[in-house]
Amino acid sequence: MNNNNNSNEEVEIDLLELLYVLKNRIVVILAAMILCAMVAVGYTKICIQPMYSSTSILYILTQSTSITSLTDIQLGTQLTSDYVQLIKSRPVLEQVIKNLKLDYKYKELEELITVENPDNTRILEITVQATEPEAAKSIVDELAEVSRSKISDIMSTDAPNVAQKGYISKTPVNVHLVKNILIALMIGFVLSSGVLIVMYILDDTITTADDVEKYLGLNTLAAIPLKEDDKKSVSSGKRKRHKKPSKKGDRHNGK
């Protein structure tokens, strides 16, 4: 029972010592956090190419479709799934490239386009990303128009309606400066704290009277104060420091 109490007390003392070490090195921790944040800002500003998006919406409900007919509603839902594949087909994208005289190849433009169909709807959301907001809007608008005519010819049906044209957004979709800074601050704190804790654990030198009692099991009867010159020599490493015995090894008896 006493052994359990002693072990619990020793763990608590170690945790307090670790917190004390971190507290004494708070300047180092803050410096590491600031350095990581500066790296994150530089990486976000220099290495990440801003991308802007624009979205156009197609509504799959032709003039001949009756909203009161369950069969027509189910047919419209099935057509929506087909439209998702046809909008990103090669003939549609190559026609868009030709109309706008874009400096893109088919595969390059395909990677910039996403088509989504919200559940249980006949709505298609066409989103295009580009390095310029105006370019994103013009591409998505042309893609919606070309898709309407191409799909109508291929499937021999009425063309879907454009419920919403693209818009110009000045906010890039892939640049998250605040998020990157917060992540960098956390990384700086974890890394600096980890290094300081490891250095403390690996330090096996005896420096205080408390260390003598803790690691050697001896009582300190007196302490000899050092002169100013002696303190400087100790701090500069001229005085040899005794190593702590291993925490799991044998300790000297105080006899």
Are both 104 and 181 inside the same structural domain? no
The answer to whether residues 121 and 67 belong to one domain is yes
Range from 72-81, 126-135, 208-217, 241-250 that averages highest in pLDDT: 126-135
Is residue 254's pLDDT more than 60? no
**Do 65 and 115 share a domain, yes or no?**
yes
Domain contains 169:
no
Q: Are residues 80 and 118 in the same domain?
A: yes
The answer to whether residue 170 is domain-embedded is no
- How far lies 148's CA from each of 79, 91, 151, in Å? 13, 13, 5
CA distances from 50 to 36, 62, 143, 144 (A): 21, 38, 22, 24
Stronger pLDDT, 54 or 203, i.e. the higher one: 54
Predicted confidence at residue 60, as pLDDT, reads 76
Q: 224 and 251, same structural domain?
A: yes
If asked whether residues 195 and 118 sit together in one domain, one would say: no
Contact 21, 200 (CB under 8 A): yes
Q: How far apart are CA 150 and CA 23, in angstroms?
A: 68
Q: What percent of the chain has pLDDT above 90? A: 32
Which residues span the domain enclosing 1?
1-48+176-203
DSSP string, 97-154: HHHHT-S--HHHHHHTEEEE--TT--EEEEEEEESSHHHHHHHHHHHHHHHHHHHHHH
Average pLDDT (103-132) is: 88
Which of 101-110, 134-143, 184-193, 211-220 shows the lowest per-residue confidence on average (mean pLDDT)?
Answer: 211-220
> Is residue 118 located within the same domain as residue 62?
yes
Contacts with 47 (C-beta within 8 Å, 6 or more apart), sequence order: none
The residues, ordered by sequence, that sit 6+ positions from 58 with a Cβ below 8 Å of its Cβ are 83, 123, 124, 126, 144, 147, 148, 160, 161, 162, 163
Residue 189 in contact with residue 29, Cβ under 8 Å? yes
Neighbours of 33 (CB within 10 A): 19
Tell me, what CATH number does 76's domain have?
3.30.70.1130
Q: Is residue 122 a part of any domain in this protein?
A: yes
* 197 and 155 assigned to the same domain: no
Phi, psi dihedral angles at 178 (to 5 degrees): -65, -45
Instruction: Answer whether 0.85 is exceeded by the pTM.
Output: no
Is the alpha carbon torsion for 96, 102, 107, 112 positive or negative?
negative
Residues 74 and 135 in one domain: yes
pLDDT at residue 32 tops 90: yes
| Distance, CA of 21 to CA of 68 (rounded, Å) | 74
| Cα angle for residues 155, 160, 162 (degrees, 5° grid) | 150
Tally of structural domains, the chain: 3
Look at strands 161-164 and 123-130 and give their pairing: unpaired
The per-residue pLDDT for range 55-102, each reduced to its tens digit, is 999 887 655 544 444 455 555 556 677 788 888 888 899 999 999 999
In a domain, 132, yes or no: yes
